[in-house]
Chains A and B, each alone.
Chain A
Amino acid sequence: MANVLETKNINKYFRKPVEFHVLKDINFRVKQGEFASIMGKSGCGKSTLLYILSTMDTDYEGELFLNDKLITGKPHEELCQIRNQHIGFVFQFHYLLTEFSVLENVMLPARKLGRKSSVEIEHDAREKLKTLNIGHLAEKRASRISGGEKQRVAIARALINDPEILMGDEPTGNLDSYNAENVFQIFKGLKEERGLSLLVVTHDPDFAKRTDRIIEMEDGRILS
C-alpha cells in the first residue's frame, strides 16, 4: 500500500538554552489507511516529531515525504497550502476560534482553500458535524459548548478539506473517559469508512493498544 507519510533520517536540535539533540535519525512511514500511535515518556520528543511532520516546524535535518513527494525545503507559502489541503490536525486543547460560531470554525480551512463555493462549503461543514453527532451545535458560539463537543468540532474542522492524514497531539488528553472513548471511536470509524490515515501522539496506553501500530519513542529515538 502507498505511503502517506515517510521520514528519512530526521534529526533535530534545540539550540536554546543549550544545544540538545532532540530527535535522532527518525525513519518511519505511515501507510494509507493506517491508524498509528506514538507513545513515549514526556520529553522524549514525540510532540516535536509531530510538529515536524505537520510541516509547522521547518528547523530540522533530514527529509520528509508526503504522498511520496518531498516536502522538506519548500517555501513557507507552499507549506501552508499543503497543511491546509492534505493534513488535518487535532490538538489536546481544542483551540477553536472562540468568537466564531461552530459552523464558521469548521468552514474556515475550506474557505481558505477556496476550491468550493461558500454554499457548498456550508453544506459540507454541516454534513461533517452531523456525522460526528453534533449537527445541532452548528449555530452556537464555539465558547459556549462543552470540552468533548469542542474536540469533535475540532475533528470536523480537521476533516473539512478531506485530508490524506489526520494528526493528533494527545487529542484525548484533556477529556474524560467517556469523551475519550467517543473520540477514539470517531477516529476508528474514519479509518474504516474512509481509509483515512491517522497518526496520534498519546500518553494513554489503553488508547494506543487499540490502534494498528504503536511507535514507541525513547530519548529521541524510535524503539519499535
Chain B
Amino acid sequence: MTNWKVIFSIAKTHLITKLKSTITASLGVTFGIGAYITLVSFMTGLNKMLDDLVLNQTPHIHLYNEIKPSEFQPVSRFEEFENALNVVHSIKPKQSQEKIHNALPLMHYLNADERVRGASPQLRAQIFYLSGSIELGGSLLGVDIMEEARLYNMRDYIVDGSAEALRNTDNGILLGAGLAEKMSLGTGDRVQISTVEGTVTPLKIVGIYQSGIAEIDNVRSFANLKTVQRIQGEAENYITDINVKLYNLEDAVPMAAQLEKQFPVEATDIQEANAQFETGSSIRNIITYAVSITLLIVAGFGIYNILTMLIYEKMNDIAILKATGFSGKDVQYIFMSQALIIGFAGGLLGLIIGFILSRLIDRVPFETEALPTITTFPVNYNIGYYFIGIIFAFISTFIAGYLPARKAKKIDPVRIIRGN
C-alpha cells in the first residue's frame, strides 16, 4: 500500500529545504530541453524551407516524350533470326515528334483522377534572346501561369510584376532574373527573341522571375502556352511536358509506373528525381537528436550526483522513516518522485526557454538572393516536439533518479541507528 500524498509531501519538503541543489539539477534539464527545442525547431524549419524550395518547384510526376532509340530493332522481330546473334551498328534515335501524343485527352484524364491535385501543360522551346548583336541561348517555357501559381507557388518566385500580368498580356514574358541583369532590362521593356528556325518575335516583359538557382535564372523565361505555340508555329495541342502534382507524395511511384504503361510517354516520379534530397534532411535530424541527447545525458549525471549526495545526507531520515513503518519501496518512491519533479519543472522551463529562443531566431533577419521569399530564419513551431521534449525530460530524470533511489531502498535502518 502506497500513500502518495505522504510521499509527495516528504519529497516536496526535501526539495524545498535543498533549494539550491534542486535549482542546479533542474537547470541541467532546462538547458538540455531548451537546447533540444531550439535546435529541433530551427533545424526542421530549415529542412522544411529547403524541402519547399525543391519540392514545391518540382512536379511529383513529370510526363514527357523522350527521343531515344527503339528498344526492339526490326531484325529482332523477324522470326527466322530468332535464335541468331544479331548485331546492329550505329543505332539512331527513332524518328518521332517532341510533343506528347494526344496531350489534351491525357490532361483531361489526369485532371479527372482523384489523386491528382492538378496537371499543368508546358511547352519547352529552345530560343535565343537578342540583345543588339548578341544572341544569348536559353529556353522559353510556355505555361498556364495560373495553374503554375496554384500548384508550384510560382508567385513566390516572381520578384517583380505578377502572374496575373502575364495571363492578361498575350505577348508577355516573365524574364529570368539573370537574363534581365545581363541584358539590362526591366519590367515594361521589350525583348526580342528568336526561335531556332530564325523567326524573331518581340515580347513585352511583364515581370522578373527568380528561382534562386543561378543556372536556371540565366536561361529560363516564362510565357503563356499559346504565345509559345504561336512563336513555334505549332497547333494548340502541341505540349512537350505535363507536370502532375498529387495530394499524396507516396502515390507518385505507383502512379508514374501506371502512366508509363497506359500511355506512350515517359514518366519520372519525384522520388527518382530527388533521392539524394532525403539524405540531407535525415542527417540534419540525426545531428539535432545527437546534440540534444548528449545534453540530456550530462543533465542526467547532474541529477544522479545530486540525488546520491542527498541520500547520503538523509541516511538518518531514511532509517527513521523505515523504523516508523515506511517500506523500502516508499523510500524509493520518495526519491524517485524528487527526480521526476526536478525533471518536470526543469523540462517545463526548458520548453519555455526553447520557445523564447525559437522566437528570437525567428526574428533574426536572413536575406539571401537564393530565397526571395524568406526574410528571417525559418523556425518550425511543431507542438509535437514540445511533447517529445517533456517526455525526454521525464525519461532522463527517471533513469538518473532510479539508481540512487534503489540505493535508498536497500539501506538497512538497523545499521544506521546502531552506527550512531
Q: A residues near B, CB below 8 A?
A: 47, 51, 54, 56-57, 76-77, 80-81, 83-85, 89, 91-93, 95-100, 104, 108-109, 111-114, 157, 169
Q: Is B417 an interface residue (CB 8 A)?
A: yes
Encode contact with A along B193-232: 1 for CB under 8 Å, 0 otherwise: 0000000000000000000000000000000000000000
**Cα–Cα, bound, A51→B3 (Å):** 25
Q: How far is the CB of B2 from chain A (nearest CB, A)?
A: 10
Most chain B beta-carbon neighbours within 10 Å: one of A77, A92, A157: A77
12 A–B contacts, CB within 8 A, in A order: A47-B418, A56-B414, A80-B326, A83-B325, A92-B420, A95-B316, A95-B320, A95-B323, A96-B320, A99-B14, A108-B321, A112-B326
- Number of chain B residues whose Cβ lies closer than 8 Å to a Cβ of chain A: 28
Are A80 and B5 within 8 A (Cβ)?
no
**Cα–Cα, bound, A198→B420 (Å):** 23
Are A93 and B420 within 8 A (Cβ)?
yes
Are A97 and B320 within 8 A (Cβ)?
yes
**Cα–Cα, bound, A168→B327 (Å):** 21
| A57 partner residues in chain B, CB cutoff 8 A | 414
**Cα–Cα, bound, A89→B319 (Å):** 12
**Cα–Cα, bound, A56→B412 (Å):** 8
Q: Is B389 an interface residue (CB 8 A)?
A: no
| Choice from A80, A91, A112, A114 contacting B417 with Cβ under 8 Å | A91
Q: How far is the CB of B297 from chain A (nearest CB, A)?
A: 31
Q: Which residue of A lies closest to B325 (CB)?
A: A84
Q: Contacts A57-B414, A93-B420, A99-B14: A77 and B324 contacting too (C-beta < 8 A)?
A: no
Are A80 and B325 within 8 A (Cβ)?
yes
Q: Which residue of A lies closest to B18 (CB)?
A: A99
Are A85 and B417 within 8 A (Cβ)?
no
Are B3 and A114 within 8 A (Cβ)?
yes
| B418 partner residues in chain A, CB cutoff 8 A | 47, 51
| Choice from B316, B324, B413, B420 contacting A112 with Cβ under 8 Å | B324
Q: Which residue of B lies closest to A100 (CB)?
A: B13
Are B5 and A83 within 8 A (Cβ)?
no
Are A76 and B328 within 8 A (Cβ)?
yes
**Cα–Cα, bound, A114→B9 (Å):** 14
